[in-house]
Amino acid sequence: MSVDQLIKRLNAIADAGLIYGKNAFDLERYQDIKDVLRDLTGDLSDLTPAELSDLFLPTSHYPTPMIDVRAFVKNDDGNVLLVRDQAKGDWALPGGYGEIGFSPSENVLKELVEEAGVTGEVVRLLAVFDTNKWQPQGRQHYKLVFECRALSQDFKVNSETSEIGYFNLETLTVPLSEKRNTRSQLNLLEELSQTGKQHID
């Protein structure tokens, strides 16, 4: 494991101890572990100050990876749909955090409409990526990428995305949101969409 992965693992153990611990002395020790870990990480970690702050927030739930869903949509020319982030101006596959009350496939279709104005249908699960292996950040995410087929499109600028576009991945020059999808992930997804294979970390 990398230093960042070890930091997140130890923090998760301390969080679990704070949630399930019964003895007052044990609870104090678990909190001490979090405090010491916070002091140590500044010089050791590649995480940003904001990511570190988020990592050490108190939690009332068992610490577990977050779920992120993404839609991989191609047009008739074989180009891939990307959306441009309203705040940062970089590009990513449409998607976001899974919301309670929706299945993974329902979540991805909801995100596709909200971010890209595309009504679609899920074809299959293409890949499951673990951010610890691809793009480490404060919280560990499992990224579920679904191959989707667009049925209709009516994009409007919204609070999340400023524009959409279909891109040839071989000649892609727009800046990518690397925490949402890396270039190597996009290349792998393109390969999987052509071969019928699936990738699971």
Mean pLDDT of 55-75: 84
pLDDT digits (tens, 9 = 90+) for 124-181: 999 999 998 998 877 889 999 999 999 999 999 998 999 999 999 999 999 999 999 9
- Checking if the pLDDT of 197 tops 90, the result is yes
pLDDT band for 51, please (50, 70, 90 cuts).
confident
Instruction: Say what the pLDDT of residue 167 is.
Output: 97
Mean pLDDT of 102-127: 96
Instruction: Say what the pLDDT of residue 84 is.
Output: 97
pLDDT digits (tens, 9 = 90+) for 6-46: 887 888 888 888 888 888 888 888 888 888 887 777 666 67
- Checking if the pLDDT of 61 tops 80, the result is no
User: At the topology level of CATH, where does 66-200 sit?
Assistant: Nucleoside Triphosphate Pyrophosphohydrolase (3.90.79)
Instruction: Say what the pLDDT of residue 141 is.
Output: 92
- Checking if the pLDDT of 116 tops 80, the result is yes
Region of 130 please: left (phi>0), alpha (psi -120 to 50) or beta.
Answer: beta
Q: What is the pTM of this model?
A: 0.75
Instruction: Say what the pLDDT of residue 1 is.
Output: 67
**To the nearest whole number, what is the mean pLDDT of the chain?**
89
Domain boundaries, the chain: 3-56, 66-200
Instruction: Say what the pLDDT of residue 44 is.
Output: 67
